[in-house]
């Protein structure tokens, strides 16, 4: 009996604590959905949770009763009746779970098919986005607008966008908990999914499949804008970046062209080996997880694979560390130039 | 047969004795010690990971190091700790439960152990090599596991699992034949103790589930070592094939671990409720049904792969169906206790603690089986919480229950009950503290296998709590270790039947003589020993007159054979042909020697047999 | 189910006595051999001949292969005879696992 | 063929392979092993079927395979299956000479099958179809090579048993070995039936 109570206490305390801390980061949590997909998924989670809590309650009640009622008392040495079974009871606890599972199966299958719908069938002319996963960053392409960018995925709010997912190296998994569940990005194969944000906002995305040393830091953002804002973003992206005005930034541009252009494009429509840096000054983060400021840019350029940056990201296909190629001063200039790459 | 190899070699030194033993009781002890060793290693790896995740943006183990820890933790716990510990209990109990003098293939039994042991050692040696341990997760998905992305650690993973997998397959065949052919007279299938039943079923699962893993590992090995292109998409390969093969094996594997635990509970709960198992027939039926279904559900590990809504729906429905037989089992246990006289021994505490813990893991399993919901759960901490609830709360609790229950039979001493209960409570509390919060962490957006998380994403509190829970489990393990050491130093001598047991193993001395049963017992029904006790008998009724007992000879060949393949593995990993040839030569030469030299065994004469033990 | 298993156990395995076996003499084996050769020729002919359509050929040759496999198992390996209850059960379980594996993998790769 | 019927021992039971507990265990255990092998080959077949069109620009199945050679290989294996069953029948008549003779023929046929297979592989390599040339190549050589490896193991095993037989004769200890070796050989033939159907014939059809 002690055990049953303790267990329930633990459960109550933890549930209470969960309520007290809320449902987690509102930009990240699947418990606080901001997309229609995540809404459906949470509904199903809650339905199954209630059914399962009901099942648990039945088990716990019988369990607690049995432990109290039938525990051995001091001096009691009787031999209990040796019961073989009880067909009626056994049928009951076979049939009831089957019924519960059927109740669950219907919305499950229905939703499985809804989530697999082609966005083009439900939305007129949906925005097409090709997302390509790399060890440890996300390339984003809008074929109809001829825009290539990285890390921040801009979408119009309130409509389904069509996403094609693939990978150029290992398997990754695309996950924006607040908007909808995961889909794997497999090399050699293309997966399709849709995503819809109910309201404008920035939503955090993660890689959910172990993909190497910096799997933990392969974050990205989905930025939902009102339709007109989104169109403005598209137009801005295609504007060339303003020429740098300060001397050091101009020198930075020169250094960038000599050292970085081989891998990083800076104009909207061009794919490159590394992330396209057009509009990097306006990105939410550096490398997906650091605040977007000059200090972090320098940190990144100096040694991207440092222990506190992204370990393993300087591999054969990755970005080399520039601390032995450029001086600190030069790195600072490059960072300054990058900060001028704005689309505003 | 002649007695020219009489047991003069009985009193040799203990190391040689264990290296050459073909006695299932000693092999059980080998499995127990090897399994416990790797359990400790895997546990330390877990605690190191939890320390890294205790606070956000921690700097203890980052990147590759952390990935090595998580890979080795998973691989070690599943293949090198849980599997051998299950085999330890099977070896210790099954021949005794069915009234047999030995297993069907004593030699292969030993070979199975040594293959496992060398495989496990091989994989763990990778820590000390320049290439480091594998860093690919215990699932080793291609292409991450290909040489383009990871070093020799992955080779150690592939070859280590190949070796230990062969050992497991041999063990599975051995137990199937043992249970089919070696049962005592009257021990029909429907009179077998439930632990024997579940072991029988999981041996069949091993038989059919390990070959896909073998093939998968071969493909991976060919890709890694010989330039094949199974998973290389630039050459037309397909990375999903590995996932299919791995999970066709992987899902039955989960049941291979949990069903014996179910078997243990089905022994422990009736024994300490003083009642026969409620619904024996439906328990057997549920076990076989779970086994059957386990081959048709593997895609629920792959819902996010993009196989389409049809495949996802079919496998979702098949998966949820497993909840029905599992539910039958839980209610049968509850109703075994109903009307009984429940004793709170340590063994039974584990069984009782298991019921709520496992039900929690089971219901989250059903939730995971729903593809739309799984799109959120998959590869998040929710899954981590789920499988630790079933594997720790189910398998490990079952192993501890079995260990406290059968320890006196294995070693002839009783573990200390007070320390045992402390061990249980610390483990129980630590376990829930560590893993309950992980459900929420997953839903709050924390993917699994991440070495860190950022500040300000509200993941800090529960990660901290989880780590404290893991540390408490660490303390519990220390208590257990103290208990074992104390028991070896001055343990209480165990009687033949310390728990007022119901099955045949309690009718013979603790520990049993090497031939187990002086005379093969005659089995009259379920719970054969209990029936005799109820009829006022102190011993089983014998089924045969007293006679000489034939025993198999010990042999060093299994050890040498496994050693040969172990050596060859290094040759494969580092591409050194002479080492491959020497290793394979030793291995195949030992096989040839085994084929050419017949084992005549030896006899134990009636005058050497002990008093007790029909 | 129980009665079935019980009767199986009537002659407990440890005290089982062998009775003389059947199917001795090479006759059924020669027949199986002859038919296997015929089926092999049929299968090759179906593929080599231009006249037979692909839609028919593939199921047809697979059917012939299954029959030939059955010859091996039941006639040459005696799987249908006494004392083969467990081999039969486990081979059938193996075939079940094999079919699920092959069908599962290829259907999900092809579509 | 069986006119060399010589009774070497009158004490041998009618089914010597199942006369002892060890024999019965070996018999059952080996059948179970074959059950596992079934799934092993199924996994290889599944992989092969999944990858057989991924030729990576190399020769396709239609261009590659030559039916007459496969037909000869098939007939060789079928005949060897028959000879191994005749060997076991000789054993059941306690005819050690017949057993050795028929197993001898089986081994010879096994070797000629292997020779043919090696010739075939060399041909393919000349056509640019190698183990590393494409995913199809890897899958093909792995599946067919696994079978070939089984054949090789089978002939070596039966040879070792034959040599043992010279010294040990036919006893309740050796009989189970012959019996399971012949089961193994039938199984290898059974797998080949599916290989020639699924790999070669279906490959030719497309």
pLDDT at B405: 97
Check CB contact of A63 with chain B, cutoff 8 Å.
Answer: yes
Helix, strand, coil proportions of chain D in percent (round to 5)? 80, 0, 20
D93: nearest CA partner in chain C: C24
**Residue D6 confidence (pLDDT):** 40
Chains touching chain B, criterion 3+ CB pairs below 8 Å: A, C, D
Q: What angle do CA B187, B190, B195 make, to 5 degrees?
A: 85
> Measured between CA atoms, how close is A198 to chain B, in angstroms?
18
pLDDT at res. B55: 94
Judge: D38–C83 Cβ closer than 8 Å, yes or no: no
What confidence category does residue A20 fall into, taking pLDDT thresholds of 50, 70 and 90? Answer: low
Q: Residue A217's pLDDT is what?
A: 94
At C1, is the secondary structure helix, strand, or coil? coil
For residues C48 and C64, membership in a common domain is answered with: yes
Separation CA B232–CA B247 (nearest Å):
20
In B279-358, beta strands by DSSP E: none
How does pLDDT run across B140-157, given as a tens digit for each residue? Answer: 999 999 999 999 999 999
* Average model confidence (pLDDT) across chain C: 76
Residue in chain C closest to D73 (alpha carbons) equals: C40
CB of D24 less than 8 A from some CB of B: yes
Nearest to B141 among A104, A171, A219 (CB): A171
pLDDT band at B612 (very low <50, low <70, confident <90, very high): low
Domain range summary for chain D, segments of one domain joined by +: 16-50+66-205
Question: Is the pLDDT confidence value at C5 over 60?
Answer: no
Mean pLDDT of C51-61: 83
pLDDT surpassing 60 at residue D170: yes
Which residue carries 């290793």 as its tokens? B583
Domains of chain A in sequence order = 1-72+117-228 (2.60.40.420), 247-338 (2.60.40.420)
Please return the burial class of A77, using the count of CB atoms within 10 Å of its CB with bins 0-12, 13-18 and 19+: exposed
Of the candidates C26, C58, C90, the beta carbon closest to that of D205 is on: C58
- Where does the pLDDT of residue D8 fall: very low under 50, low under 70, confident under 90, or very high at 90 and above? very low
Chain segment B474-509, per-residue pLDDT in tens? 999 999 999 999 999 988 899 999 999 999 999 999
Neighbours of A333 (CB within 10 A): 25
The number of folded domains in chain C is: 2
> Of A18-32, B89-103, B511-525, B539-553, which gets the smallest average pLDDT?
A18-32
Tell me the average pLDDT across B199-222: 96
Does any CB of chain C come closer than 8 Å to the CB of residue D62? no
Is the pLDDT at A208 greater than 60? The verdict is yes
Three-state secondary structure call for residue B97: helix
Secondary structure of residue A229 in the 3-state scheme: helix
Query: Which of 2.30.29.30, 1.20.210.10, 3.40.190.10, 3.40.50.300 is the CATH number of B7-555+599-608?
Result: 1.20.210.10
Residue recorded with tokens 């439900």: A122
**Measured between CB atoms, does D131 come within 8 Å of chain B?**
yes
Predicted confidence (pLDDT) at residue D25 exceeds the cutoff of 50: yes
Instruction: Return the structure tokens found at B429.
Output: 């509390």
Q: Which of residues 48-67 of C touch D (CB under 8 A)?
A: 48, 54, 57-58, 61-62, 64-65
Q: Between B and C, how many residue pairs show a Cβ–Cβ distance under 8 A?
A: 63
Q: Tell me which residue has tokens 């610390």.
A: B426
Half-sphere exposure (Cβ direction) of B173: Cα atoms closer than 13 Å: 29
CA distances (Å), origin B272, targets B501, D37, D179: 9, 42, 48
Nearest-CA distance C3 → chain D (Å) = 23
User: Which of chain C's residues have a Cβ under 8 Å away from the Cβ of B245?
Assistant: 105
Of D38, D50, D70, nearest to C98 by CB-CB distance is D38
Q: Which residues of B touch C13 (CB under 8 A)?
A: 180-183
C-alpha of D16 from chain center: 23
| pLDDT range class, residue A202, cuts 50, 70, 90 | very high
Two tokens at B173? Answer: 């065949």
Residues from chain D that touch C33, judged by Cβ atoms under 8 A, are 78-79, 81-82
Q: Do chains D and C touch (3 or more CB pairs under 8 A)?
A: yes
Q: How far is CA B486 from the centre of its chain?
A: 26
| Domain limits for position C106 | 82-111
Is a pLDDT exceeding 50 seen at residue B289? yes
Position B10 pLDDT exceeds 70: no
What's the pLDDT score for residue A3? 54
- Starting at the edge strand found earlier in the chain, the sheet holding A128-134 runs A147-150, A137-142, A128-134, A161-167, A191-195
Taking only the tens place, the pLDDT of each residue in D80-136 is 999 999 999 999 888 899 999 999 999 999 999 999 999 999 999 998 899 999 999
List b or e across B410-424, with b for residues whose CB sees 16 or more CB atoms inside 10 angstroms.
bbbbbbbbebbbbbb
From the number of C-beta atoms within 10 Å of its C-beta (0-12, 13-18, 19+), residue D24 rates as buried
With contact defined as beta carbons under 8 Å apart, do D90 and D99 qualify? yes
Position A19 scores a pLDDT of 57
C36 shares a domain with C72: yes
The answer as to whether C35 is a domain residue is yes
Q: Which long-range contacts (C-beta less than 8 Å, at least 24 apart) are formed by B591-600?
A: B591/B561, B592/D160, B593/B557, B594/B107, B594/B555, B594/B557, B594/B561, B595/D160, B595/D161, B595/D164, B595/D177, B596/D160, B596/D164, B598/D168, B598/D173, B599/B107, B599/B552, B599/B553, B599/B555, B600/B1, B600/B2, B600/B4, B600/B5, B600/B553
Nearest CA in chain A to B319: A101
Within 238-257 of A, beta carbons closer than 8 Å to B belong to none
Reported confidence tier of residue A7, pLDDT bands at 50, 70, 90: low
Taking the alpha carbons of A53, A54, A58, A61 in that order, is the dihedral positive or negative? positive
Probe site for chain C from D5, D29, D32, D46 (most C CB atoms < 10 A): D46
- pLDDT, position A26: 86
Query: C72 and C38: one domain?
Result: yes
Count the neighbouring beta carbons within 10 Å of the beta carbon of residue C68. 26
> Do C and B have ≥3 inter-chain CB pairs under 8 A?
yes
Query: Is B235 part of the contact surface with chain A (CB cutoff 8 Å)?
Result: no
pLDDT of amino acid D66: 86
Task: Check CB contact under 8 Å for C76 and D202.
Answer: no
Band the pLDDT of C29: cuts 50, 70, 90: confident
Does C71 lie in the same domain as C91? Answer: no
CB crowding A148-169: b at 16 or more within 10 Å, else e: bbbbbbbbbbebbbbbbbbbeb
Nearest Cα of chain B lies from the Cα of D151 at a distance, in angstroms, of 16
| CATH code, D16-50+66-205 | 1.20.120.80
D92 CB within 8 Å of a chain C CB: yes
Q: How confident is the model at residue A5 (pLDDT cuts 50, 70, 90)?
A: low
What residues contact residue A300 under an 8 Å CB cut-off, 6+ apart?
Answer: A286, A287, A290, A309
Looking at chain A, the whole-number percentage of residues with pLDDT higher than 90 is 71
The DSSP H or E segment spanning B265 is helix B240-273
C1 within some domain: no
HSE toward the beta carbon, residue B419, CA cutoff 13 A: 17
HEC letters along B29-40: HHHHHHHHHHHH
pLDDT at B12: 64
Q: Please report which helix (H) or strand (E) contains residue A133, including its range.
A: strand A128-134
C11: in domain: no
- The DSSP annotation for A25-57 comes to -TTT-TTS--BHHHHHHHHHHHHHHHHHHHHHH
Hey, is A85 helix, strand or coil? coil
Contact A251, A173 (CB under 8 A): no
Strand B492-493 versus strand A201-207 pairing type: unpaired
pLDDT value, residue B11? 57
SS3 B314: helix
Q: Is residue C100 part of a domain?
A: yes
Give the list of residues 6+ apart from residue B171 with CB closer than 8 angstroms, or none. Answer: B87, B90, B109, B112, B113, B116, B203, B206
**Is C86 in the same domain as C68?**
no
Residues C109 and C68 in one domain: no
User: How much is the mean pLDDT over chain A?
Assistant: 90
Q: For the segment A73-117, what is each residue's pLDDT rounded down to a tens digit?
A: 988 888 899 888 889 999 999 999 999 999 999 999 999 999 998
pLDDT at C8 over 50: no
List of chain C residues whose C-beta atoms are within 8 Å of the C-beta of residue B184: 12, 14
Which of B157, B130, B154 is closest to B144 using CA atoms? B154
Q: Residue holding tokens 């890897």?
A: D138
Kindly give, in sequence order, each residue whose CB lies less than 8 Å from that of residue B410, ignoring residues fewer than 6 positions away: B25, B28, B29, B32, B92, B511
Chains C–D, number of C-beta pairs less than 8 Å apart: 135
Q: Is C8 within the bounds of a domain?
A: no
C-alpha B581/C-alpha A27 separation (Å) is 59
Distance CA A334, CA A252 (A): 4
**What tokens were used for A288?**
């997906």
> Of A170 and C27, which is predicted with more confidence?
A170
Q: B331 and A18: CB-CB below 8 Å? A: no
Q: How confident is the model at residue B613, as a pLDDT?
A: 56
Q: How far apart are CA B115 and CA B560, in angstroms?
A: 10
Q: What is the pLDDT of residue B5?
A: 42
Q: Is residue C16 part of a domain?
A: no
Same domain, yes or no: C32 and C53: yes
* Structure confidence at residue B7 (pLDDT): 46
In the predicted structure, residue B1 carries a pLDDT above the cut 60: no
pLDDT tens digits, B330-339:
999 999 999 9
On the question of pLDDT at C65 being above 60, the answer is yes
């Amino acid at each position: 009996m002690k055990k049953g109570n303790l267990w329930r206490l633990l459960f109550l305390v933890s549930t209470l604590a969960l309520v007290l801390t809320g449902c987690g980061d509102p930009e990240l949590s699947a418990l606080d959905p901001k997309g229609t997909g995540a809404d459906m998924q949470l509904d199903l989670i809650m339905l199954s949770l209630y059914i399962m809590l009901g099942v648990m309650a039945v088990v716990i009640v019988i369990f607690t009763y049995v432990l109290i009622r039938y525990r051995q008392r001091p001096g009691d040495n009787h031999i209990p009746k040796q019961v073989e079974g009880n067909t009626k009871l056994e049928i009951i606890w076979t049939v009831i779970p089957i019924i519960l599972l059927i109740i669950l199966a219907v919305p499950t299958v229905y939703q499985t098919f809804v989530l697999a719908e082609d966005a083009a069938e439900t939305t007129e002319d949906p925005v097409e986005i090709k997302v390509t996963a790399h060890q440890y960053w996300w390339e984003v392409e809008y074929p109809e607008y001829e825009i290539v960018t990285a890390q921040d995925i801009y979408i119009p709010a309130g409509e389904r966008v069509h996403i094609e997912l693939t990978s150029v190296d290992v398997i990754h998994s695309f996950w924006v908990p607040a908007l909808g569940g995961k889909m794997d990005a497999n090399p050699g194969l293309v997966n399709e999914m849709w995503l819809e944000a109910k309201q404008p906002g920035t939503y955090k995305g993660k890689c959910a499949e172990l993909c190497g040393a910096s799997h933990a830091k392969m974050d990205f953002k989905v930025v939902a804008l009102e339709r007109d804002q989104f169109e403005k973003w598209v137009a801005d992206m295609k504007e060339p970046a303003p020429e740098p005005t300060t001397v050091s930034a101009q020198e930075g541009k020169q250094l960038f062209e000599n050292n970085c252009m081989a891998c990083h494009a800076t104009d909207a429509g061009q794919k490159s080996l590394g992330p396209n840096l057009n509009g990097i000054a306006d990105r939410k983060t550096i490398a997906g997880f650091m605040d977007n400021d000059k200090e972090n840019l320098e940190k990144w350029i100096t040694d991207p694979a440092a222990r506190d940056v992204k370990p393993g990201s300087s591999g054969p296909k990755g970005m080399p560390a520039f601390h032995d190629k450029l001086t600190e001063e030069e790195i600072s200039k490059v960072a300054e130039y990058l900060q001028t790459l704005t689309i505003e | 047969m002649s007695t020219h190899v009489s047991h003069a070699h009985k009193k040799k030194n203990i190391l040689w004795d264990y290296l050459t033993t073909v006695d299932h009781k000693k092999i059980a002890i080998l499995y127990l010690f090897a399994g416990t060793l790797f359990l400790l290693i895997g546990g330390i790896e877990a605690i190191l990971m939890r320390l890294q995740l205790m606070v956000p943006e921690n700097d203890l183990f980052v990147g590759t190091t952390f990935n090595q820890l998580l890979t080795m933790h998973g691989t070690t716990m599943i293949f090198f700790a849980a599997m051998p510990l299950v085999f330890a209990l099977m070896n210790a109990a099954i021949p005794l439960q069915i009234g047999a003098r030995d297993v069907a293939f004593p030699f292969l039994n030993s070979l199975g152990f040594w293959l496992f042991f060398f495989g496990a050692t091989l994989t763990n040696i990778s820590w000390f090599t320049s290439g480091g341990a594998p860093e690919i997760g215990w699932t080793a998905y291609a292409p991450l596991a290909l040489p383009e992305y990871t070093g020799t650690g992955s080779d150690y993973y592939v070859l280590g699992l190949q070796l230990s997998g062969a050992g497991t397959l041999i063990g599975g065949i051995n137990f199937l034949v043992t249970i089919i052919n070696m049962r005592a007279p009257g021990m029909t299938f429907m009179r077998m103790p439930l632990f024997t039943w579940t072991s029988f079923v999981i041996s069949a699962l091993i038989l059919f589930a390990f070959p896909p893993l073998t093939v998968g590992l071969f493909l991976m090995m060919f890709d890694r070592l010989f330039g094949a292109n199974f998973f290389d998409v630039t050459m037309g390969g397909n990375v999903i094939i590995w996932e299919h093969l791995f999970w066709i094996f992987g899902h039955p594997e989960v049941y291979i671990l949990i069903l014996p635990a179910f078997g243990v509970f089905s022994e422990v709960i009736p024994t300490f409720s003083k009642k026969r198992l409620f619904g024996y027939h439906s328990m057997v039926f549920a076990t076989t049904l779970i086994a059957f279904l386990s081959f048709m559900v593997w895609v629920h590990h792959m819902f996010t792969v993009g196989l389409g809504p049809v495949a996802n729906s079919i496998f979702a429905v098949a998966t949820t169906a497993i909840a029905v037989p599992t539910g039958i089992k839980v209610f049968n246990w509850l109703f075994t206790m109903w009307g009984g006289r429940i004793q709170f021994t340590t063994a039974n505490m584990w069984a009782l603690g298991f019921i709520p813990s496992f039900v929690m893991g089971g219901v989250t399993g059903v939730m995971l089986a729903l593809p739309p919901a799984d799109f959120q759960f998959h590869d998040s901490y929710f899954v981590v919480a789920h499988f630790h609830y079933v594997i720790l709360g189910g398998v490990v609790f079952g192993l501890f229950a079995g260990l406290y229950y059968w320890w006196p039979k294995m070693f002839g001493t009783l573990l200390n009950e007070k320390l045992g209960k402390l061990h249980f409570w610390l483990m129980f509390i630590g376990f829930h503290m560590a893993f309950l919060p992980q459900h929420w962490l997953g839903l709050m957006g924390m993917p699994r296998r991440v070495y860190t998380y950022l500040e300000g994403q509200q993941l800090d509190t529960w990660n901290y709590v989880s780590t404290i829970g893991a540390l408490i489990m660490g303390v519990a393990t220390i208590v257990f270790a103290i208990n074992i050491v104390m028991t070896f130093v001055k343990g209480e001598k165990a009687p033949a039947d310390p728990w007022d047991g119901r099955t045949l193993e309690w009718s013979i001395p603790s520990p049993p003589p090497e031939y187990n049963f002086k005379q093969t017992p005659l089995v009259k029904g379920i719970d054969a020993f209990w029936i005799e006790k109820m009829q006022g008998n102190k011993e089983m009724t014998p089924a045969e007159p007293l006679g000489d007992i034939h025993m198999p000879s010990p042999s060093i060949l299994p050890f040498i054979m496994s050693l040969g393949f172990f050596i060859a593995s290094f040759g494969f990993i580092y591409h050194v042909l002479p080492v491959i040839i020497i290793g394979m030569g030793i291995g195949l030469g030992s096989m040839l020697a085994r084929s050419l030299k017949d084992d005549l065994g030896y006899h134990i004469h009636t005058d050497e047999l002990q008093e007790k033990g029909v | 189910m129980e009665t079935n298993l019980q009767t199986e156990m009537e002659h407990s395995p440890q005290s089982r006595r062998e009775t003389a076996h059947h199917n001795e003499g090479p006759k059924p084996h020669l027949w199986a051999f002859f038919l296997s050769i015929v089926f092999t020729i049929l299968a090759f002919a179906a593929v080599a001949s231009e006249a037979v359509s692909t839609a028919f050929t593939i199921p047809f040759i697979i059917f012939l292969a299954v029959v030939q496999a059955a010859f091996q198992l039941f006639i040459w390996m005696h799987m249908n005879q006494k004392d083969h209850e467990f081999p039969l059960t486990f081979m059938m379980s193996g075939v079940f696992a094999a079919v699920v594996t092959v069908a599962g993998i290829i259907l999900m790769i092809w579509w | 063929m069986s006119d060399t019927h010589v009774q070497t021992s009158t004490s041998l039971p009618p089914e010597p392979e199942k006369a002892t507990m060890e024999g019965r265990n070996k018999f059952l255990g080996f059948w179970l092993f074959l059950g596992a092998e079934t799934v092993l080959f199924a996994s290889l077949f599944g992989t092969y079927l999944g990858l057989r069109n991924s030729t990576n620009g190399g020769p396709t199945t239609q261009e590659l395979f030559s039916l007459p050679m496969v037909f000869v290989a098939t007939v060789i294996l079928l005949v060897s299956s028959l000879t191994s069953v005749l060997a076991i029948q000789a054993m059941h008549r306690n005819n050690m000479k017949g057993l050795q003779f028929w197993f001898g023929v089986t081994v010879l046929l096994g070797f000629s099958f292997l020779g043919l297979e090696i010739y075939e592989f060399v041909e393919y390599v000349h056509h640019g179809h190698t183990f590393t040339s494409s995913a199809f190549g890897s899958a093909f050589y792995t599946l067919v090579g696994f079978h070939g490896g089984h054949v090789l193991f089978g002939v070596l095993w039966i040879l070792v048993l034959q040599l043992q037989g010279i010294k040990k004769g036919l006893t309740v200890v050796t009989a189970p070995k012959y019996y399971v070796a012949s089961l193994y050989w039938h199984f290898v033939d059974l797998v080949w039936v599916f290989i020639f159907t699924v790999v070669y014939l279906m490959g030719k059809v497309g």
